[in-house]
């Protein structure tokens, strides 16, 4: 999670939503809950020094909290956008409905994309529809409104995704098939750390697609952070 103003209770930090997601996974897996007071206490200590926290919970009720800085190139990516590759079909997220510690598939997909001079990779399903990037939910602008892939059990239900759906005037949740993605004027991905990063190029076997990373529609999302 990203801690805004060193404050866990900031509406932008969204502490409660992050804890609720952790609790949902614990209950789904029948894992022991941690001492939530200690989790909060540890997060407050680290939040005084780091803008990004990772809270990992184990099956026996233990917690492990680490802190880190924001990516050094974040501002440049937010301003100018990035290139992505469509990931190979054998790369897919493990237990996509939960934010687990198994990032191997996402790491491999992103590493492969970086070897091809891209910064990110986009997961696809068996039908070839775009699902999400290795680190965030996808958003596209078309016909005056935002579009995002639906929660079909194939993507992570991101906290920022939920907030944007609540706060944007109109959001279409539809499968991102080949026809739809060709019609987007602009696309981006979001997560709790980077907020929103435009994507200007998507490299795929059938040819690259180009999008406008400076589209005025991004202001509608940026003003929410």
**95: helix, strand or coil:** coil
Domain identity same for 56 and 83: no
pLDDT at 177 over 90: yes
Residue 102 shares a structural domain with residue 165: yes
Instruction: Pick the last residue of a domain from 34, 53, 68.
Output: 68
Answer whether 119's CB lies under 8 Å from 84's CB.
yes
Give the pLDDT band (50/70/90) at residue 204.
very high
In a domain, 2, yes or no: no
- The mean per-residue pLDDT over the stretch 90-115 comes to 89
pLDDT at 84: 98
Tell whether the model's pLDDT for residue 10 goes beyond 90.
yes
User: pLDDT band at residue 90, thresholds of 50, 70 and 90?
Assistant: confident
Residue 95 confidence class, pLDDT cut points 50, 70, 90: confident
81 and 21 both lie in a single domain:
no
- Whether 30 is covered by a domain: the verdict is yes
Q: CA–CA separation, 107 vs 24, rounded Å?
A: 24
Q: Are 25 and 34 in contact (CB under 8 A)?
A: no
Residues 49 and 81 placed together within one structural domain of the fold: no
The reply to whether 1 falls in a domain is: no
Spatial CA neighbour of 135 closest among 65, 207, 52:
52
> Residue 106: which CATH number?
3.20.10.10
Rounded to 10 deg, the angle between the 15-29 and 159-167 helix axes is: 120
* Structural domain span for residue 133: 74-222
Is the same domain home to 120 and 178?
yes
Q: Per the structure, how many domains does the chain have? A: 2
Same domain, 19 and 119: no
């Amino acid at each position: 999670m990203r801690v805004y103003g060193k404050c866990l209770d900031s509406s932008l930090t969204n502490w409660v939503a992050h804890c609720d997601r952790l609790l949902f996974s614990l209950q789904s897996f029948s894992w022991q809950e941690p001492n939530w007071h200690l989790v909060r206490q540890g997060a407050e200590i680290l939040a005084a020094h780091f803008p990004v926290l990772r809270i990992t919970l184990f099956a026996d009720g233990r917690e492990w909290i680490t802190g880190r800085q924001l990516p050094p190139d974040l501002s440049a990516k937010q301003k100018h956008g990035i290139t992505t590759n469509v990931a190979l079909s054998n790369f897919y997220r493990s237990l996509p409905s939960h934010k687990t510690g198994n990032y191997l598939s996402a790491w491999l997909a992103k590493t492969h994309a970086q070897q091809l001079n891209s910064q990110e990779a986009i997961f696809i399903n068996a039908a070839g529809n775009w699902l999400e990037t290795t680190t965030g939910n996808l958003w596209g602008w078309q016909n005056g409104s935002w579009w995002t892939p639906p929660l079909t059990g194939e993507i992570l239900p991101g906290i920022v995704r939920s907030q944007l759906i609540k706060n944007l005037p109109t959001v279409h949740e539809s499968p991102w098939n080949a026809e739809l993605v060709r019609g987007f004027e602009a696309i981006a991905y979001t997560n709790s750390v980077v907020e929103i990063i435009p994507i200007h190029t998507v490299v795929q076997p059938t040819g690259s697609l180009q999008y406008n990373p400076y589209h005025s529609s991004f202001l509608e999302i940026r003003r929410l952070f």
